[in-house]
């Protein structure tokens, strides 16, 4: 099965000039440039999913009364395609993103895109725009699937039509000058997600609600916000759009622990992969509840030696220091710890094909043109 069986290909006759594309791939940054094409798939109550097509990347036009602009039924995903040593292209655990996209859709009362169509859209776009997949250390093509409601009208209810769109954007190394630990702000005023809310769904509204807290973190001289549970502001949940890990001990006897998925945390693919990969490297890895007091006391006693965040965009980001309204502390010596660096390299090596894939995580693309 290839993407082209399910998706009608209507490519542009005028792709970006190769020299101009190479300039963009040399310094892609993040989310600044987009490839020549996109995939769109339409859903409506009568026909279900239909009209899957690969078309030139272009603006979408919409009615001002389209439901998404008012009531926010909008979800997205994020994953990367990496150039492999043999010149091929592979994505990392894309079935997990397909399934999470379905779970997000369910929570927002939206139709679920079949996994096969999700994967076919990736296959079709990457195959068509394969020249946009950069090679070079830590460079990738970032894939952004999204879906939103398209019915026109102001009645509050689930829309009767939706559009799925897949776009792609070349991404540079997240840390071009080497891993740099971030300083985090513990947000006790705002919450990202509450029990019964949408914290588990990758929906646009979660990000809208996070921006004011992120601005507050910046005002405090911090790079990122750390979210605590909404009820008690006591249990550590996530950092910005990334999951967190705490390292206890050091050397071969180190263990890593990540906050338990309580329903208000987003279940990251990177988080899940690290639970397994850490075990492969000989660390004990588990999920547990971690309070702010546990963190501060564990840091003071030396039990907690490193902390890092993880997600598709940066893979692993070390956390160097913590600040809240009442406290401030440095983690270890404030630099990237050895367990953090080792896990980061091990995961990136699998994604980029530099190390063997023992778990069937790497999904090579069949290049069809």
Instruction: Tell me how far apart the alpha carbons of residues 119 and 117 are, in angstroms, rounded to a whole number.
Output: 5
Site string for ligand PLP, 143-182 (x = CB under 6 A): ----------------------------------------
Member of 73, 191, 270, 352 binding ligand PLP (CB under 6 A): 270
Instruction: Give bridge partners of residue 183 from the DSSP assignment.
Output: 321
Which residue, 270 or 317, has its beta carbon nearer to ligand PLP? 270
Tell me: does residue 350 bind ligand PLP (CB under 6 A). Answer: no
Residue 269 Cβ, how far from ligand PLP at the closest point, in Å?
4
Tell me: does residue 269 bind ligand PLP (CB under 6 A). Answer: yes
Of 55-63, 241-249, 322-330, 343-351, the segment contacting ligand PLP by CB under 6 A is 241-249
Phi-psi region of 8 (alpha: psi -120 to 50; beta: other; left: phi over 0): beta
Tell me 367's DSSP state: -
Tell me: does residue 268 bind ligand PLP (CB under 6 A). Answer: yes
Question: Tokens 């440039």 correspond to what residue?
Answer: 33
Member of 266, 277, 292, 331 binding ligand PLP (CB under 6 A): 266
Residue 297 host element (H or E)? helix 292-301
Instruction: Tell me how far apart the alpha carbons of residues 85 and 83 are, in angstroms, rounded to a whole number.
Output: 7
Query: 68: Cβ–Cβ under 8 A, 6 or more apart, which residues?
Result: 74, 148, 149, 150, 159
Which residue, 31 or 48, has its beta carbon nearer to ligand PLP? 31
Tell me: does residue 316 bind ligand PLP (CB under 6 A). Answer: no
Tell me: does residue 94 bind ligand PLP (CB under 6 A). Answer: no
Member of 112, 151, 238, 306 binding ligand PLP (CB under 6 A): 238
Which residue, 37 or 271, has its beta carbon nearer to ligand PLP? 271
Note whether 239 and 232 are within 8 A (CB).
no
Q: Which of 179, 299, 183, 309 is nearest to 248 (CA)?
A: 299
Of 41-49, 156-164, 244-252, 261-269, the segment contacting ligand PLP by CB under 6 A is 261-269
Tell me: does residue 111 bind ligand PLP (CB under 6 A). Answer: no
Tell me: does residue 242 bind ligand PLP (CB under 6 A). Answer: yes
Of 25-33, 234-242, 296-304, 332-340, the segment contacting ligand PLP by CB under 6 A is 234-242
Tell me: does residue 336 bind ligand PLP (CB under 6 A). Answer: no
Q: Quickly count: other Cβ atoms within 10 Å of residue 355's Cβ.
A: 13
Note whether 224 and 243 are within 8 A (CB).
no
What tokens does 88 get? Answer: 């091929």
Tell me: does residue 322 bind ligand PLP (CB under 6 A). Answer: no
Largest CA distance in the chain: 64
Total of residues contacting ligand PLP (CB under 6 A): 13
Tell me: does residue 241 bind ligand PLP (CB under 6 A). Answer: yes
Instruction: Tell me how far apart the alpha carbons of residues 114 and 64 are, in angstroms, rounded to a whole number.
Output: 29
Q: Quickly count: other Cβ atoms within 10 Å of residue 59's Cβ.
A: 5
Tell me: does residue 123 bind ligand PLP (CB under 6 A). Answer: no
Q: Which of 215, 311, 223 is nearest to 269 (CA)?
A: 311
The site for ligand PLP (CB under 6 A) is made up of 78, 202, 238, 241-243, 266, 268-271, 311-312
């Amino acid at each position: 099965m290839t993407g082209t069986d399910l998706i009608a290909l209507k490519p542009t006759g005028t792709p970006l000039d190769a020299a101009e594309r190479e300039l963009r791939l040399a310094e892609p940054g993040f989310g600044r440039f987009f490839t020549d094409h996109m995939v769109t798939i339409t859903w409506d109550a009568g026909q279900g999913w239909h009209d899957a097509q690969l078309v030139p990347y272009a603006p979408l036009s919409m009615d001002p009364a389209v439901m998404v602009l008012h009531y926010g039924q909008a979800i997205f995903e994020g994953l990367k395609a990496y150039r492999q040593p043999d010149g091929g292209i592979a994505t990392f655990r894309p079935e997990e993103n397909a399934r999470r996209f379905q779970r997000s859709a369910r929570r927002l009362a939206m139709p679920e895109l079949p996994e096969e169509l999700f994967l076919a859209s990736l296959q079709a776009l990457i195959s068509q725009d394969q020249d946009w997949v950069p090679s070079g250390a830590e460079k990738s093509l970032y894939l952004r699937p999204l879906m939103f409601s398209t019915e026109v009208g102001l009645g509050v209810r689930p829309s009767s039509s939706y559009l799925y769109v897949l776009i792609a954007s070349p991404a540079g190394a997240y840390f071009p000058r080497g891993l740099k630990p971030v300083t985090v702000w513990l947000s006790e005023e705002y919450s990202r997600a509450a029990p019964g809310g949408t914290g588990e769904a990758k929906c646009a509204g979660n990000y809208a609600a996070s921006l004011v807290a992120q601005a507050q973190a910046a005002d405090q001289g911090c790079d990122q916000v750390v979210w605590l549970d909404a009820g008690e502001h006591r249990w550590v949940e996530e950092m910005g759009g990334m999951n967190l890990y705490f390292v206890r001990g050091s050397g071969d006897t180190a263990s890593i622990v990540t906050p338990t998925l309580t329903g208000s945390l987003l279940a990251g693919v990177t988080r899940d992969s690290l639970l397994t990969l850490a075990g492969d490297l000989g660390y004990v890895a588990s999920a547990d509840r971690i309070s702010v007091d546990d963190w501060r006391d564990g840091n003071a006693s030396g039990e907690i030696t490193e902390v890092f965040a993880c997600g598709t965009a940066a893979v692993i980001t070390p956390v160097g220091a913590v600040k809240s309204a009442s406290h401030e502390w440095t983690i270890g010596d404030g630099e990237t710890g050895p367990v953090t660096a080792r896990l980061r390299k091990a995961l990136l090596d699998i994604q980029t094909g530099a190390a063997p894939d023992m778990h069937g995580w790497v999904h090579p693309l069949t290049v069809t043109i």
